[in-house]
């Protein structure tokens, strides 16, 4: 993914998100996610300050919105609302599926990119993330609850999007140099001890997010 993005960046070919400034964006869905702890968030924000100085007009995820998507249960789509489903049915199904599951260990190290955004690279340090995703895929495959799991792509990474391009990049060369500078920078390892089910917009903006349920994971001994 990085090599493809790098080739496009060198050609000045960036993908700009037209929805970031749209006041009529009503794309919503429900997502199971994890959030990094405060210490990790602070390191991420410190890292992003370098990008902000070079490209102040892009969209930077606020610390409150940083997340790792565990599974997009209903991908954001135009006009979707909570009244279209029974949230409690999803909560009960997740409580059953996640009961007894162990905490996920994730190591954030370095950056990657796609033509439209910059990502933190997350590397699972145990098998729990893959195990939980597979359990949930099976769970939703064998019940009648509406879902669109893996409809866009099969989620296998533990990345976190931190920057989206919304305006022409002022200095592509400088941006490339910053990404390359941080390609392998260590950010930290943390344990995910609970997951959240949220009703969310495309960007996981805090002011547009409703937490539907929290699900504890057992500490790894």
Within-domain flag for 104? yes
Phi, psi torsion values for 53, nearest 5 degrees: -70, -35
Within-domain flag for 221? no
Nearest Cα to Cα of residue 132 among 106, 92, 109, 100 = 100
Measure CA of the first residue to CA of the last residue in the chain; give whole Å: 35
Give the model's pLDDT for residue 69: 97
List pLDDT tens digits, range 8-56: 999 999 999 999 988 889 999 999 999 999 999 999 999 999 999 999 9
Query: What pTM was estimated for this model as a whole?
Result: 0.94
Rounded Cα distance, 78 and 85, in Å: 15
Percent residues over pLDDT 90 in the chain: 90
State the CATH number of the domain containing residue 121. Answer: 3.90.1140.10
List pLDDT tens digits, range 162-207: 999 999 999 999 999 999 999 999 999 999 999 999 999 999 999 9
Number of domains the chain is built from: 1
Within-domain flag for 60? yes
Give the model's pLDDT for residue 221: 64
């Amino acid at each position: 993914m990085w090599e493809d993005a790098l080739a496009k960046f060198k050609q000045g070919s960036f993908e700009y998100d037209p929805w970031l400034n749209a006041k009529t964006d009503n794309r919503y869905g429900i997502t199971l996610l994890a959030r990094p702890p405060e210490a990790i968030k602070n390191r991420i924000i410190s890292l992003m300050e370098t990008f902000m100085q070079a490209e102040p007009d892009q969209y930077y995820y606020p610390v409150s919105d940083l997340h790792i998507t565990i599974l997009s249960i209903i991908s954001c789509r135009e006009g979707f609302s909570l009244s279209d489903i029974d949230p409690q049915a999803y909560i009960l199904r997740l409580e059953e599926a996640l009961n007894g599951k162990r905490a996920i260990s994730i190591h954030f190290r370095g950056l990657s990119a796609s033509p439209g955004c910059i990502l933190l690279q997350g590397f699972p340090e145990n098998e729990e993330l893959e195990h939980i995703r597979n359990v949930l895929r099976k769970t939703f495959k064998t019940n009648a609850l509406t879902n669109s799991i893996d409809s866009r792509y099969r989620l296998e990474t533990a990345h976190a999007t931190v920057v989206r391009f919304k305006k022409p990049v002022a200095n592509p060369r400088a941006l490339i140099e910053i990404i390359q500078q941080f390609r392998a920078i260590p950010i930290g390892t943390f344990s995910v001890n609970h997951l959240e089910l949220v009703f969310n917009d495309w960007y996981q903006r805090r002011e547009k997010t409703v937490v539907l349920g929290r699900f504890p994971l057992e500490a790894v001994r």
